[in-house]
Amino acid sequence: MIFNSIDFAIFFPAVFFLYWFVFKRSVKLQNAFLLLSSYAFYSFSDIRFLLLLIGVSLTAYFIGLGLERSVSGAVRGFLLADGILLMAATLGVFKYYDFFFEGFILPLGISFYIFLSLSYIIDIYRRKMKACSDPVDALLTLSFFPILLAGPIQRPVSLLPQIQKKRDFNYDLAAGGLRQILWGLFMKMLIADNCAVYANDIFANSDTYGGSTLLIGAALYTVQIYADFAGYSEIAIGISKLLGIELMRNFAFPYFAKDIVEFWRRWHISLTSWFRDYIFLPLSFFISRKIPSERFLGINTDMFIYIAGICFTWLLTGLWHGSNRTFIVWGLFHGSLLIFYHVLKKPRKKVLRSLNIRHDNLILVSFERIFTLFAVMISWVIFRADSLHQALAFISGIFSSSLFSKPEFAGIRRINPVLIFGTIFFLIEWIGRNETFALEKFGLKWKRAFRWTFYPALILCIYFFGNFSSAVEFIYFQF
């Protein structure tokens, strides 16, 4: 079941009504109902893998209890290792078996709920949270349906306390949630799905198009993947607000970032922070304990640790997205950009100081934003391509002399609405860039007549110009 489907339009209002009007007097009943609703939501996609979800969640639950009750360091270490190995093996079998054998079915959302379970186990081991003794609360924390298929990867340490406490309906929170859902649907159905029509054609026939068309295809996919994935996150966060639960922000207008480090602080925040806290920092600490000297292999030890940590972390980040070699190269490409930025950080400051240019100079910042966005766009070509060969050919085509030819592709004469709404989309995003989502405060100070005209106008735009040819799945469902 996907958020932009008729099925969900029937499912969620029923859940909302029963949750607030039938079970509101008891948080235990609310949680039991939400857990059953989450399992029903997941079963709608493929009931065969519901047992896998329950099995992973129960494994995390019992290991968590064991970690909480054990006082022996050796026993706790064994339980932690056992839990990590079980989760990693489960993810490996289902996600990477297809790397060697075709035709294997990938359970929806497996990467996301495996990471939720790993967070739960590791944080209990680190004593950052206590294990939950109530199986319903614990399983709901690891299976909450708004985040089940594509995140945000909400850490149990912050989600569980919200699930355990009594929740009262909050009008302001719910109203904000509705605005966030509306913006998410606008992003997905009007922007992402319409961009997909043209981007899919250009990537499918990339060997027949010139550089100018390929550049347009890369730009369209760059917009598509952001509007698609951030749109999902906005809807998920908005739905949770309607249920009285607040989730972490997952996107912070990443295409306005002025460098690659800032981009990754703004893009898929729940995943990048997960890799930082559970992979990069522990690995860096481990390496630092093994290298007592100030230099290693001829370079500064801190620099070596950073390079080693970044390379390993981004290799895993690429692998997390799938077994296709393009994902591995995509991950290493971003790792290389981060290392490149880190190496040039001090020399850049010296050059700017010598030229008497402030770091917030408008021309400089504008150039850095454009350069960063272009580098990210090239990386999305690698990410989207079916093979490394196609990715290299696609990128080579962009930089060929045909870049200056007239673009021509199927449907080019019908692309104007996409360009118009895309421009409106980024203008609203730019205006709301200091908020947690674009519509959080957009228009709230307008007169009521104007404000209540704007929201129906967005709905009408989605209805008349959105892509309703089919209920298009969100891109990140495949991960």
> How far is the C-alpha of 459 from the C-alpha of 185, rounded, in Å?
9
| Cα distance between the two ends of the chain | 16
DSSP 458: H
Query: Which of 87, 78, 71 lies closest to 119, judged by CA?
Result: 87
Query: Which of 423, 420, 406 lies closest to 464, judged by CA?
Result: 420
> How far is the C-alpha of 179 from the C-alpha of 11, rounded, in Å?
19
Residue 244 identity (one-letter amino acid): G
The answer to whether residue 359 is catalytic is: no
228 C-beta neighbours (distance < 10 Å), count = 25
140 C-beta neighbours (distance < 10 Å), count = 27
Helix (H, G, I), strand (E, B) or coil at 299: strand
> How far is the C-alpha of 457 from the C-alpha of 424, rounded, in Å?
13
Max CA pair span of the chain: 71
Whether 241 and 146 have beta carbons less than 8 Å apart is answered as: no
User: Phi, psi (5° rounding) for residue 374?
Assistant: -65, -40
Query: Which of 55, 57, 17, 56 lies closest to 37, judged by CA?
Result: 17
Residue 63 identity (one-letter amino acid): I
Half-sphere exposure (CA, 13 Å, Cβ side) for 93? 7
Choosing from 268, 321, 334, 342, the catalytic residue is 321
Helix (H, G, I), strand (E, B) or coil at 358: coil
DSSP 296: E
> How far is the C-alpha of 27 from the C-alpha of 116, rounded, in Å?
22
> How far is the C-alpha of 276 from the C-alpha of 42, rounded, in Å?
29
DSSP 274-334: HHIIIIIHHHHHHHHHH--SSEETTEEHHHHHHHHHHHHHHHHHHHHH-SSHHHHHHHHHH
Residue numbers annotated as active site: 321
